[in-house]
Protein backbone atom coordinates (compact mmCIF):
# COMPACT_ATOMS: atom_id res chain seq x y z
CA UNK A 1 0.00 0.00 0.00
CA UNK A 2 1.14 3.57 -0.54
CA UNK A 3 1.57 6.31 2.02
CA UNK A 4 -1.88 7.75 1.36
CA UNK A 5 -3.67 4.52 2.25
CA UNK A 6 -4.59 3.63 5.81
CA UNK A 7 -3.26 0.55 7.57
CA UNK A 8 -5.19 -1.67 9.97
CA UNK A 9 -4.63 -3.04 13.44
CA UNK A 10 -4.40 -6.49 11.88
CA UNK A 11 -0.62 -5.94 11.60
CA UNK A 12 2.09 -5.57 14.24
CA UNK A 13 5.01 -3.17 14.31
CA UNK A 14 7.86 -3.41 16.85
CA UNK A 15 9.59 -0.16 17.88
CA UNK A 16 12.64 -0.30 20.15
CA UNK A 17 13.74 2.59 22.34
CA UNK A 18 10.17 3.89 22.55
CA UNK A 19 10.36 5.54 25.98
CA UNK A 20 11.11 9.02 24.64
CA UNK A 21 12.12 11.01 21.57
CA UNK A 22 12.09 9.46 18.12
CA UNK A 23 10.98 6.04 19.38
CA UNK A 24 8.02 7.38 21.28
CA UNK A 25 6.97 9.70 18.46
CA UNK A 26 7.26 6.79 16.02
CA UNK A 27 5.13 4.52 18.20
CA UNK A 28 2.46 7.21 18.40
CA UNK A 29 2.54 7.90 14.66
CA UNK A 30 2.30 4.22 13.72
CA UNK A 31 -0.55 3.69 16.16
CA UNK A 32 -2.34 6.60 14.46
CA UNK A 33 -1.67 4.87 11.14
CA UNK A 34 -3.62 1.92 12.52
CA UNK A 35 -0.87 -0.55 13.43
CA UNK A 36 -0.72 -2.40 16.74
CA UNK A 37 2.62 -1.17 18.10
CA UNK A 38 4.75 -3.30 20.42
CA UNK A 39 6.85 -0.59 22.03
CA UNK A 40 10.10 -1.51 23.74
CA UNK A 41 10.80 0.54 26.88
CA UNK A 42 13.33 0.23 29.68
CA UNK A 43 11.21 0.85 32.81
CA UNK A 44 7.74 0.27 34.21
CA UNK A 45 7.33 4.04 34.57
CA UNK A 46 8.03 4.52 30.87
CA UNK A 47 5.61 1.71 30.05
CA UNK A 48 2.84 3.50 31.94
CA UNK A 49 3.53 6.73 30.05
CA UNK A 50 3.68 5.13 26.60
CA UNK A 51 0.71 2.76 26.91
CA UNK A 52 -2.24 3.73 24.71
CA UNK A 53 -5.01 2.17 22.68
CA UNK A 54 -2.81 0.68 19.96
CA UNK A 55 0.50 0.92 21.83
CA UNK A 56 1.50 -2.09 23.92
CA UNK A 57 4.65 -1.42 25.95
CA UNK A 58 7.06 -4.28 26.71
CA UNK A 59 10.16 -4.14 28.86
CA UNK A 60 13.11 -4.36 26.50
CA UNK A 61 16.81 -3.87 27.02
CA UNK A 62 18.19 -4.89 23.64
CA UNK A 63 21.48 -5.96 25.24
CA UNK A 64 19.60 -8.45 27.48
CA UNK A 65 19.29 -11.76 25.63
CA UNK A 66 16.36 -12.94 27.75
CA UNK A 67 14.34 -9.80 27.02
CA UNK A 68 15.05 -10.00 23.29
CA UNK A 69 13.93 -13.65 23.37
CA UNK A 70 10.77 -12.64 25.23
CA UNK A 71 10.05 -10.05 22.54
CA UNK A 72 10.37 -12.69 19.82
CA UNK A 73 8.08 -15.01 21.80
CA UNK A 74 5.51 -12.20 22.13
CA UNK A 75 5.52 -11.63 18.37
CA UNK A 76 5.43 -15.35 17.58
CA UNK A 77 2.40 -15.87 19.83
CA UNK A 78 0.39 -13.23 17.96
CA UNK A 79 -1.65 -14.30 14.96
CA UNK A 80 -1.19 -10.90 13.34
CA UNK A 81 1.70 -10.59 10.85
CA UNK A 82 4.74 -8.50 11.73
CA UNK A 83 4.70 -5.61 9.30
CA UNK A 84 7.95 -4.02 10.48
CA UNK A 85 10.59 -3.65 13.16
CA UNK A 86 11.96 -0.17 13.83
CA UNK A 87 15.43 -0.30 15.38
CA UNK A 88 15.64 2.98 17.27
CA UNK A 89 17.19 2.14 20.66
CA UNK A 90 20.59 3.73 21.09
CA UNK A 91 22.96 5.75 23.24
CA UNK A 92 25.55 8.46 22.62
CA UNK A 93 28.99 8.02 24.19
CA UNK A 94 31.07 11.01 23.14
CA UNK A 95 34.60 12.13 24.01
CA UNK A 96 37.93 12.59 22.19
CA UNK A 97 39.11 9.19 20.99
CA UNK A 98 42.37 9.41 22.93
CA UNK A 99 40.46 9.81 26.19
CA UNK A 100 37.57 7.37 25.67
CA UNK A 101 38.10 4.15 27.68
CA UNK A 102 37.65 0.84 25.81
CA UNK A 103 34.78 -0.09 28.14
CA UNK A 104 32.85 2.95 26.88
CA UNK A 105 33.50 1.96 23.27
CA UNK A 106 32.11 -1.47 24.05
CA UNK A 107 29.03 0.02 25.70
CA UNK A 108 28.33 2.17 22.65
CA UNK A 109 28.60 -0.77 20.28
CA UNK A 110 26.71 -3.20 22.53
CA UNK A 111 23.64 -1.00 22.39
CA UNK A 112 23.90 0.66 19.00
CA UNK A 113 25.18 -2.29 16.93
CA UNK A 114 25.10 -5.67 18.65
CA UNK A 115 21.75 -5.07 20.35
CA UNK A 116 20.23 -3.94 17.05
CA UNK A 117 21.52 -7.06 15.32
CA UNK A 118 20.16 -9.26 18.12
CA UNK A 119 16.66 -7.81 17.62
CA UNK A 120 16.88 -8.30 13.85
CA UNK A 121 17.98 -11.92 14.25
CA UNK A 122 15.28 -12.69 16.81
CA UNK A 123 12.48 -11.23 14.66
CA UNK A 124 13.72 -12.38 11.26
CA UNK A 125 11.60 -15.58 11.21
CA UNK A 126 8.45 -13.49 11.69
CA UNK A 127 9.59 -10.94 9.10
CA UNK A 128 10.29 -13.67 6.56
CA UNK A 129 6.82 -15.12 7.09
CA UNK A 130 5.13 -11.76 6.62
CA UNK A 131 7.57 -10.32 4.05
CA UNK A 132 7.93 -7.42 6.42
CA UNK A 133 10.25 -4.46 6.72
CA UNK A 134 13.25 -3.45 8.80
CA UNK A 135 13.72 0.26 9.45
CA UNK A 136 16.99 1.25 11.10
CA UNK A 137 17.29 4.72 12.60
CA UNK A 138 20.63 6.06 11.45
CA UNK A 139 22.18 9.51 11.72
CA UNK A 140 24.23 12.05 9.83
CA UNK A 141 26.88 10.77 12.25
CA UNK A 142 26.83 7.60 10.16
CA UNK A 143 27.85 9.66 7.13
CA UNK A 144 30.20 12.28 8.58
CA UNK A 145 32.24 11.66 11.74
CA UNK A 146 32.63 14.93 13.61
CA UNK A 147 35.48 15.39 16.12
CA UNK A 148 34.42 14.27 19.57
CA UNK A 149 31.79 11.88 18.19
CA UNK A 150 34.06 9.00 17.19
CA UNK A 151 32.38 6.16 19.10
CA UNK A 152 28.84 7.25 18.24
CA UNK A 153 29.73 7.70 14.57
CA UNK A 154 31.62 4.42 14.55
CA UNK A 155 28.48 2.61 15.64
CA UNK A 156 26.30 4.48 13.15
CA UNK A 157 28.74 3.80 10.31
CA UNK A 158 28.68 0.14 11.31
CA UNK A 159 24.88 0.05 11.13
CA UNK A 160 25.03 1.61 7.66
CA UNK A 161 27.15 -1.37 6.57
CA UNK A 162 24.89 -3.85 8.39
CA UNK A 163 21.84 -2.32 6.70
CA UNK A 164 23.39 -2.53 3.24
CA UNK A 165 24.51 -6.12 3.70
CA UNK A 166 21.21 -7.16 5.25
CA UNK A 167 19.19 -5.55 2.46
CA UNK A 168 21.13 -7.47 -0.16
CA UNK A 169 20.68 -10.71 1.78
CA UNK A 170 16.96 -10.62 2.54
CA UNK A 171 15.26 -8.61 -0.19
CA UNK A 172 15.22 -11.70 -2.46
CA UNK A 173 12.94 -13.23 0.21
CA UNK A 174 10.57 -10.26 0.30
CA UNK A 175 11.97 -8.44 3.36
CA UNK A 176 12.92 -4.81 2.70
CA UNK A 177 15.43 -2.73 4.65
CA UNK A 178 15.46 1.07 4.95
CA UNK A 179 17.61 3.52 6.89
CA UNK A 180 16.28 6.81 8.26
CA UNK A 181 18.99 9.50 8.43
CA UNK A 182 17.91 12.40 10.64
CA UNK A 183 19.89 15.56 11.12
CA UNK A 184 19.68 17.45 14.41
CA UNK A 185 16.62 16.40 16.43
CA UNK A 186 15.45 17.61 19.84
CA UNK A 187 15.53 14.45 21.96
CA UNK A 188 16.62 13.26 25.38
CA UNK A 189 19.34 11.22 23.66
CA UNK A 190 21.25 14.48 23.23
CA UNK A 191 20.70 15.42 26.88
CA UNK A 192 21.85 12.01 28.08
CA UNK A 193 24.79 12.12 25.67
CA UNK A 194 25.83 15.50 27.05
CA UNK A 195 25.71 14.17 30.61
CA UNK A 196 27.86 11.21 29.57
CA UNK A 197 30.30 13.52 27.81
CA UNK A 198 30.64 15.69 30.92
CA UNK A 199 31.40 12.61 33.01
CA UNK A 200 34.01 11.42 30.52
CA UNK A 201 35.61 14.87 30.25
CA UNK A 202 35.86 15.00 34.05
CA UNK A 203 37.79 11.71 33.91
CA UNK A 204 40.38 12.98 31.43
CA UNK A 205 43.92 13.72 32.54
CA UNK A 206 44.85 17.39 33.07
CA UNK A 207 46.95 17.24 29.90
CA UNK A 208 44.03 15.86 27.90
CA UNK A 209 41.62 18.46 29.26
CA UNK A 210 44.06 21.18 28.20
CA UNK A 211 44.69 19.61 24.79
CA UNK A 212 41.01 19.23 23.99
CA UNK A 213 39.65 22.33 25.72
CA UNK A 214 38.66 23.93 22.41
CA UNK A 215 37.02 20.76 21.19
CA UNK A 216 35.01 20.16 24.36
CA UNK A 217 33.76 23.76 24.28
CA UNK A 218 32.77 23.37 20.61
CA UNK A 219 31.10 20.05 21.39
CA UNK A 220 28.93 21.63 24.09
CA UNK A 221 27.95 24.52 21.82
CA UNK A 222 27.07 22.17 18.97
CA UNK A 223 24.91 19.81 21.02
CA UNK A 224 23.18 22.70 22.80
CA UNK A 225 22.22 24.13 19.40
CA UNK A 226 20.58 20.81 18.52
CA UNK A 227 18.38 21.12 21.58
CA UNK A 228 17.33 24.59 20.49
CA UNK A 229 17.20 24.34 16.71
CA UNK A 230 16.74 20.63 16.05
CA UNK A 231 13.70 19.10 14.39
CA UNK A 232 10.80 17.76 16.40
CA UNK A 233 10.93 13.97 16.69
CA UNK A 234 7.55 13.73 14.96
CA UNK A 235 9.19 14.70 11.67
CA UNK A 236 11.40 11.62 11.88
CA UNK A 237 8.35 9.53 12.78
CA UNK A 238 6.68 10.71 9.56
CA UNK A 239 9.63 9.38 7.56
CA UNK A 240 9.45 6.03 9.37
CA UNK A 241 5.76 5.83 8.50
CA UNK A 242 6.58 6.35 4.83
CA UNK A 243 9.28 3.68 4.90
CA UNK A 244 6.79 1.20 6.33
CA UNK A 245 3.72 2.11 4.30
CA UNK A 246 5.01 3.03 0.82
CA UNK A 247 4.64 0.30 -1.78
CA UNK A 248 8.26 0.64 -2.91
CA UNK A 249 10.22 2.21 -0.06
CA UNK A 250 13.53 3.92 -0.65
CA UNK A 251 16.65 2.40 0.86
CA UNK A 252 17.37 5.66 2.71
CA UNK A 253 15.36 8.66 3.85
CA UNK A 254 17.17 11.82 4.93
CA UNK A 255 15.26 14.02 7.39
CA UNK A 256 16.13 17.69 7.66
CA UNK A 257 18.11 20.08 5.51
CA UNK A 258 21.32 19.50 7.48
CA UNK A 259 21.10 15.75 6.87
CA UNK A 260 20.51 16.26 3.15
CA UNK A 261 23.43 18.68 2.83
CA UNK A 262 25.93 16.63 4.85
CA UNK A 263 25.04 13.40 3.08
CA UNK A 264 25.49 15.02 -0.31
CA UNK A 265 28.77 16.72 0.64
CA UNK A 266 30.43 13.36 1.35
CA UNK A 267 30.12 12.60 -2.38
CA UNK A 268 31.07 16.05 -3.67
CA UNK A 269 34.11 17.30 -1.76
CA UNK A 270 37.50 15.92 -0.73
CA UNK A 271 38.19 14.65 2.78
CA UNK A 272 40.44 17.64 3.51
CA UNK A 273 37.82 20.14 2.41
CA UNK A 274 35.16 18.34 4.41
CA UNK A 275 37.49 18.41 7.44
CA UNK A 276 37.71 22.20 7.18
CA UNK A 277 33.96 22.55 6.71
CA UNK A 278 33.20 20.40 9.75
CA UNK A 279 35.65 22.30 11.94
CA UNK A 280 34.21 25.62 10.76
CA UNK A 281 30.68 24.41 11.46
CA UNK A 282 31.69 23.48 15.01
CA UNK A 283 33.51 26.75 15.53
CA UNK A 284 36.93 25.15 15.84
Is residue 3 included in any domain, yes or no? no
More confident residue, 251 or 263: 251
Active-site hit among 35, 149, 152, 253 = 152
- Return the pLDDT at 192: 76
Average of per-residue pLDDT across 209-214: 91
Q: What are phi and psi of 163, to 5 degrees?
A: -65, -40
Is residue 170 included in any domain, yes or no? yes
- Structural domain total, the chain: 1
- Return the pLDDT at 9: 63
Q: What is the pTM of this model?
A: 0.90
For residues 222 and 229, give the distance between their C-alpha atoms in angstroms, rounded to a whole number.
10
Mark whether 152 is an active-site residue: yes
Is residue 2 included in any domain, yes or no? no
- Return the pLDDT at 195: 81
Mean residue pLDDT across the chain: 92
- CATH, residue 256: 3.40.50.720
More confident residue, 4 or 226: 226
pLDDT digits 0-9 by tens, 73-130: 999 999 999 999 999 999 989 899 999 999 999 999 999 999 999 999 999 999 999 9
- Return the pLDDT at 97: 93
Average of per-residue pLDDT across 19-40: 97
Percentage of the residues of the chain whose pLDDT score is greater than 90: 74
Q: State the residue range of the domain holding 42.
A: 12-281
For residues 157 and 151, give the distance between their C-alpha atoms in angstroms, rounded to a whole number.
10
Q: Nearest CA to 148 among 245, 49, 77, 219?
A: 219
Average of per-residue pLDDT across 137-161: 95
Helix, strand, coil percent values for the chain (each to nearest 5): 60, 15, 30
- Position 38 pLDDT exceeds 60: yes
For residues 62 and 112, give the distance between their C-alpha atoms in angstroms, rounded to a whole number.
9
Which of 63-67, 194-198, 209-213: highest mean pLDDT?
63-67
- Return the pLDDT at 198: 83
Is residue 277 included in any domain, yes or no? yes
Count CB atoms within 10 A of the CB of residue 249.
18
Amino acid sequence: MNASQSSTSSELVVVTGASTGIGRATAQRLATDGFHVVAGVRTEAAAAEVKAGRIEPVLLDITDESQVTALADRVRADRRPLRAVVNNAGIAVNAPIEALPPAEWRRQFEVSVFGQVAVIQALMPALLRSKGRIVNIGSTGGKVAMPGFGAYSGAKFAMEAVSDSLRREVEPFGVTVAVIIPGAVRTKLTERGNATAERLIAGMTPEQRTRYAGLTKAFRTTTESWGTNGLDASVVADAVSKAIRERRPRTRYTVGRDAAVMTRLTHLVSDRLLDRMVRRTMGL
